[in-house]
Structure 1
Amino acid sequence: MKIAIIADDLTGANDCGGQLVHYGMDVSVKLDAEFTRRETEGVVIFNTDSRSLPAAEAKATVKNISEHISRQSFDIVYKKIDSTMRGNIGAELQAMYEVFQPDFVLIAPGYPQNGRQVIGGIHYVNGVKLEETEAANDPKTPVAESNIQRLIEKQTRNKSGHLSYEDIRRGHGHVRNKLERFRAEGISYVTADSVHESDLQGLALILESLPYSIILAGSAGLMSCLPKAFNLKERELGQTVPSSDQPIMFVVGSMSRTGREQLHELFAGRAAEKIEMRSERVLCGGAEKRNEFERLKERAADVQRRSKHIVLCTSDNAAETQKIGESRGLTPVQTSNAVSGALGEFAGELIQAFHVKRLFLTGGDTAYQVLHQLRIHEIRLLDEVEPGIPLGAAGEELYIVTKAGNFGSRSVMASAAIKLQGG
């Protein structure tokens, strides 16, 4: 089976692909959405890094990749979207629709086992409406709408339909009849509920047996249900990382509430120390930025001498950082990009200086920037630390865990440290 996935950021690309490694599939993530050869059997994931691009640019990028995919033979084409609906979802789906001309584009962003539920078309994160969560205050792509059907209609300028959880639970015949009604009304975009994991599982089984051409769009939640719907068998994974006692570098670019709790749990084990990049200094550029890097390098050398894991993160003063960016004529998006770019640059230099071979990267922008600095263009996914938290390899020696900022249990960083050292 061949699967093509288009994702708008790196951690999303990885967590989606991580769902498939347990089924014996070769999963490759292309960091720069490049294609130089015909893809063979397995899963290829194209990272467009387009979540915060202008909508027209994001659409053009996805359209280019879609045209490449359309010239090959894939069994499933999947659009990975953010589980909190950030990004240029409508523009990118429109690009895919124009290329593939499917009967339907089905959008199911829910991921109940990670606290993302869609109930009656309203998106909730851990029981809170999407528009009342941290996603509403995202500096790059804030989300001010909890109704996913309305959100899709605004972004695509197309009328859409909706499959409720009651529709899904009534089964194949009912869903098919409803889709026929949508088609008669000229509706191609359809959103879907998912209250429980069983709703996504039921939806996947129904979709597999429908006689329509469908572009699937969802988070890692829907993807996790597709293998069994297509009768793929799970396989036992052996040890995926060689044993090593070398310290790990954690690069934390997303300081969500969840991320802060995970760091607290990691530090409680006394095996890691924080090195904080002063964001306001790197925004000044020039000598101040260079001096900040030298300070970080000295701190990192001290932490490594004591055989502790290095946790490189940004200072937790977003309001002050945005104010400094504004004073320098930067928009909030430009300020955020400058900070994540500097964090990635510094991390890349530290990784090379201290010959780090085990990485934990959180936040899609940060992960992309770090790997870009290391000139890494492809990751092979090997395993998962937890559902939605994948582990991969680049080259022969570098092992990497990536995590979306607000994903994972409290102990995920501590668990990743054990996994990265071959435990």
Structure 2
Amino acid sequence: MSGGGRAGHGVLVVADDLTGANATAAAFARTGLRAVTLGADQPPDAAAEFASRFDVVVVSTDARHSPPEHAAARMRDLVRAAGPRALVSNRVDSTLRGNLGATTAAALAAVRETTGRRAVALCAPAHPEARRLTVQGCQLLDGVRLEETELARDPRSPLPTSDVAALLRRQAELRTAHLPLAAVTGTDGGGPRAHVARALADGAEVLIADALTTEHLDRAAAAAVREGGDDLVWVGVDPGPGSVALARALGLTRHTAGAPVLAVSGSATRLTRLQLARLRAEFPVTVVRMPAAPSSAPAPGETEAALDAALAAAGPEDVVLLATVLDDADVVERIGPEDAERLPRVLARTVRRALERHTVDGLFATGGDVAAALFAELSARGLDVEEELVPLAVAGTFVGGPWAGLPVVTKGGLVGDAGTTVACVSHLRRAAAVARRHVRAAEAGGAPHTAHTRHAPHIPHIPQEEAS
């Protein structure tokens, strides 16, 4: 059974402290999603405001040690304000301190209210990288039950037990079921999907999953989503990794290996031809031609289709080159002023239509008229300048418009030496690698800071993969 009751777009994570919120946002960012964290001082409506610009909104309530009714009210307010989301997550402490039951019950009630569907929590509290594991429904810290650690004497949130179900029921009447490790690993003969199906049929509100590894979390999440059906919405309850696994199972995450660089050349200079030849020698380059002479121009839409196909097929290490001139045979001795003015606009329009369908890690433009046309066509209000790579070759990111934050390098057709274009594309590759390690933050007034963010204008609909 495919589908998982996808109720909206994007991810809302409600965390009970800021450090946990930041860590969870970083985990989502590593999957290729744009993530932002909001502090506890932000009003509930801020979650909806930021959801229109970010894939993942993580809100800290700072309510770990608050009275349970306060933590629950904050959860309800945030989920209601954000509206239907593809995934809502209750980010809890990895050692389960705080208001686990109250916030889980509030999240489930609010999701049912906003979606009109059955809501079930996948409580997968393991954080394998931090040595927090879940075995037989109990949470272990470095292999030790919580009640046998100093957390049992925590002055604000003492933990009398490591039994996850018991901790949930301390604050809420929730019907729980257990997904044991043998089911997660498939060693019990039935596999995780059979256990999930039985739990759902028995009316479970919370499914507690054992896990020793990240792969176990992925297995549990995949089984939950595949058995849930379209009339059910899953809610994450975990310290972060479990909700990321749910997002993967729901098809919300992106590939993180990167995307191709798009290079656009409208220059016919001998230096440009030399630079493009060097580029093709040092990078895997797919060339899409757009002849400068009207008599040689392809049929309307032909270049757009070719660029679309090239970007669709390109890997993360590839360069897709849209160029008017590659070698001496392409040079047109005379071109009229009308054609000279038209060509940059046609190149820019072709690029815009391609970028509406494909993500790139950077945009390189050679030729002043081409760069200006690209800025206009892509609705960029300016360039956040990073550095001048060589004289008259400038690197930065778009400011404003749908592609704000996209790394860009522009240079003139007579700028640099034979290796300059290679250096420009190499810079875009490095910038993209850095951007993928950063989480998008918010500026004062709610505007997203995008100077170090790899741009992806929207989350495409990704059909859920069938079980292998």
Q: TM-score, normalised by structure 2?
A: 0.48
Structure 2 CA distance for partners of 1:392 and 1:156, relative to 1, 3 Å: same
Work out whether residues 87 and 247 of structure 2, in 8 Å CA contact, stay in contact via their aligned partners in 1: no
Aligned residues between the structures: 249
1:47 corresponding residue in structure 2: 60
Amino acid at match of 2:136: G
The alignment status of 1:87 with 2:113, answered yes or no, reads no
Work out whether residues 62 and 96 of structure 1, in 8 Å CA contact, stay in contact via their aligned partners in 2: yes
Distance 1:218 1:382 in 2: 27
Work out whether residues 120 and 205 of structure 2, in 8 Å CA contact, stay in contact via their aligned partners in 1: yes
Amino acid at match of 1:58: A
The alignment status of 1:178 with 2:195, answered yes or no, reads yes
Q: Which residue among 246, 254, 259 is the counterpart of 1:232?
A: 254
Distance 2:247 2:105 in 1: 26
Instruction: Encode CA deviations 1:8-32: one digit per residue, 9 max, x unaligned.
Output: 1101111111112123322111102
Amino acid at match of 1:223: S
Shift of 1:235: 3.9
For the residue of structure 2 that corresponds to 1:13, the secondary structure is: helix
1:221 corresponding residue in structure 2: 241
Distance 2:442 2:236 in 1: 28
Amino acid at match of 1:18: A
The alignment status of 1:166 with 2:179, answered yes or no, reads no
Structure 2 CA distance for partners of 1:122 and 1:23, relative to 1, 3 Å: closer
1:100 corresponding residue in structure 2: 111
Amino acid at match of 1:108: A
1:116 corresponding residue in structure 2: 132
Work out whether residues 163 and 191 of structure 1, in 8 Å CA contact, stay in contact via their aligned partners in 2: yes
Shift of 1:173: 7.1
2:78 corresponding residue in structure 1: 65
2:213 corresponding residue in structure 1: 196
* Amino-acid identity (%): 25
Work out whether residues 89 and 236 of structure 2, in 8 Å CA contact, stay in contact via their aligned partners in 1: yes
Structure 2 CA distance for partners of 1:103 and 1:23, relative to 1, 3 Å: closer
Q: Which has the higher contact order (CA 8 A, sep 6+)?
A: 1
1:7 corresponding residue in structure 2: 15
For the residue of structure 1 that corresponds to 2:27, the secondary structure is: coil
Structure 2 CA distance for partners of 1:394 and 1:75, relative to 1, 3 Å: closer
Instruction: Encode CA deviations 1:40-61: one digit per residue, 9 max, x unaligned.
Output: 1411111111101011111111
Work out whether residues 79 and 215 of structure 1, in 8 Å CA contact, stay in contact via their aligned partners in 2: yes
Structure 2 CA distance for partners of 1:80 and 1:160, relative to 1, 3 Å: same
Work out whether residues 21 and 382 of structure 1, in 8 Å CA contact, stay in contact via their aligned partners in 2: no
Q: TM-score, normalised by structure 1?
A: 0.53
Distance 2:126 2:109 in 1: 25
Distance 1:68 1:393 in 2: 20
Work out whether residues 217 and 245 of structure 2, in 8 Å CA contact, stay in contact via their aligned partners in 1: yes
1:133 corresponding residue in structure 2: 149
Amino acid at match of 2:239: S
Shift of 1:138: 2.1
Shift of 1:234: 0.9
Work out whether residues 17 and 64 of structure 2, in 8 Å CA contact, stay in contact via their aligned partners in 1: yes
Distance 1:133 1:392 in 2: 36
1:331 corresponding residue in structure 2: none
Q: Which residue among 7, 23, 30 is the counterpart of 2:38?
A: 30
- Give the alignment's Cα RMSD to 1 decimal: 3.0
2:458 corresponding residue in structure 1: none
Q: Which residue among 225, 250, 268 is the counterpart of 1:208?
A: 225
Structure 2 CA distance for partners of 1:114 and 1:144, relative to 1, 3 Å: same
For the residue of structure 2 that corresponds to 1:18, the secondary structure is: helix
Structure 2 CA distance for partners of 1:133 and 1:179, relative to 1, 3 Å: same
Work out whether residues 19 and 223 of structure 1, in 8 Å CA contact, stay in contact via their aligned partners in 2: no
Work out whether residues 29 and 46 of structure 1, in 8 Å CA contact, stay in contact via their aligned partners in 2: yes
Work out whether residues 383 and 392 of structure 1, in 8 Å CA contact, stay in contact via their aligned partners in 2: no
Instruction: Encode CA deviations 1:203-235: one digit per residue, 9 max, x unaligned.
Output: 122233231321111112223434543262014
Work out whether residues 18 and 383 of structure 1, in 8 Å CA contact, stay in contact via their aligned partners in 2: no
Q: Which runs of 5+ in 2 are unaligned?
A: 1-8, 113-117, 260-433, 450-468
Work out whether residues 10 and 87 of structure 2, in 8 Å CA contact, stay in contact via their aligned partners in 1: yes
Shift of 1:159: 3.2
Distance 1:159 1:22 in 2: 34
2:416 corresponding residue in structure 1: none
Distance 1:92 1:224 in 2: 19
Shift of 1:139: 2.0
Shift of 1:186: 3.0
Structure 2 CA distance for partners of 1:14 and 1:121, relative to 1, 3 Å: same
Structure 2 CA distance for partners of 1:382 and 1:162, relative to 1, 3 Å: farther
Q: Which runs of 5+ in 1 are unaligned?
A: 238-380, 385-389, 399-423
Distance 1:90 1:227 in 2: 22
Shift of 1:86: 0.6
For the residue of structure 1 that corresponds to 2:170, the secondary structure is: helix
* Bigger Cα Rg: 2
Distance 1:225 1:143 in 2: 27
Distance 2:443 2:212 in 1: 40
Shift of 1:201: 1.9
Shift of 1:393: 5.0
Amino acid at match of 1:46: V
1:378 corresponding residue in structure 2: none
Distance 1:170 1:49 in 2: 38
